[in-house]
């Protein structure tokens, strides 16, 4: 067996062991469901210069959308962290809802889309914005 082969075997075995240990340990950061206060805190970090006009929270608490003027600010959970992107409020209002999720597209290869859970209690588009949608 060559030196290079030994390195490869040790590396692969090590990678498997480390991933298994991370899975076993279950020590991610806590990500409690977003409520309005938590969502606002998160938005204040991600979009510190944007005032929040309206706030909508995904039904599973894993994301939120805020209207800030003509912009839609979107935050959503990925693993135990959050991702933030924005799109125009007009585009956000016409985002398709499929299989209980509203799907936003950002035109950014680094974070192309977000899928946020919708329920009867918190439909998308948010109630009260139907007029804006029609206009």
Partner 1 sequence: MKLDPVTLAIPFFIISILLEILLSRLGVTKANYEVRDTATSLMMGFFSSIIGAIPAAAIFGVSVWVYKYRLLDIPMVGLLGVGAWAALFLLEDLTYYWFHRLSHERRFWWAAHVNHHTSQHYNLSTALRQTWTGGVSGTWLLWLPLSFIGFPPAMVAIQKGISLVYQYWIHTEVIRRLPGPIEAVFNTPSHHRVHHARNPRYLDANYAGILIIWDRLFGTFIPEDDAEPCRYGTVKNLGDFNLLRVAFHEWIGIGQDLARSRSPREVLGYLFGPPGWSPDGSRDTSHTLKAKWQARQAAQAQASAESAPMAAE
Work out how close the CB of 2 gets to partner 1 at its nearest, in angstroms, rounded to a whole number: 11
Scan for tokens 């597209």, then name that residue: 105
Question: Judged by CB under 8 A, does residue 41 bind partner 1?
Answer: no
Work out how close the CB of 128 gets to partner 1 at its nearest, in angstroms, rounded to a whole number: 29
The CA distance from 77 to 73, in Å, is 14
Single residue of 79, 94, 131, 135 touching partner 1 by CB under 8 A: 79
Nearest 5°: the CA angle 104, 106, 108 is 145
Q: Which is nearer to partner 1, 28 or 132 (CB)?
A: 28
Work out how close the CB of 134 gets to partner 1 at its nearest, in angstroms, rounded to a whole number: 30
Name residues whose C-beta falls within 8 Å of residue 98's C-beta, 6 or more positions apart in sequence.
none
Name residues whose C-beta falls within 8 Å of residue 34's C-beta, 6 or more positions apart in sequence.
42, 57, 58, 61, 62, 63, 64, 75
Single residue of 2, 24, 37, 121 touching partner 1 by CB under 8 A: 24
Site for partner 1 in 2-21 (CB under 8 A): 3, 7, 10-12, 14-15, 17-19, 21
Single residue of 39, 43, 64, 82 touching partner 1 by CB under 8 A: 82
Q: Per DSSP, which regions of 69-112 are E strands?
A: 71-78, 81-88, 97-98, 101-105
The CA distance from 57 to 101, in Å, is 12
Question: Judged by CB under 8 A, does residue 45 bind partner 1?
Answer: yes
Question: Could you tell me the two tokens for 103?
Answer: 């799907």
- Binding residues for partner 1, rule: CB under 8 A, are 3, 7, 10-12, 14-15, 17-19, 21-29, 45, 48-49, 78-85, 108-114
């Amino acid at each position: 067996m060559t030196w290079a082969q030994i390195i490869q075997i040790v590396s692969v075995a090590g990678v498997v062991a480390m991933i298994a240990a991370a899975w076993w340990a279950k020590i991610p950061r806590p990500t409690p469901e977003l409520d309005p206060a938590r969502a606002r805190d998160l938005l204040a970090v991600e979009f510190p210069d944007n005032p929040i006009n309206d706030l909508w929270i995904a039904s599973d608490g894993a994301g939120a959308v805020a209207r800030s003027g003509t912009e839609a600010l979107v935050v959503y959970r990925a693993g135990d962290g959050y991702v933030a992107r924005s799109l125009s409020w007009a585009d956000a209002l016409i985002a398709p809802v499929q299989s209980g999720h509203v799907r936003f597209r950002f035109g950014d290869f680094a974070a192309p889309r977000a899928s946020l859970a919708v329920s009867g209690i918190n439909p998308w588009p948010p109630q009260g914005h139907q007029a804006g949608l029609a206009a």
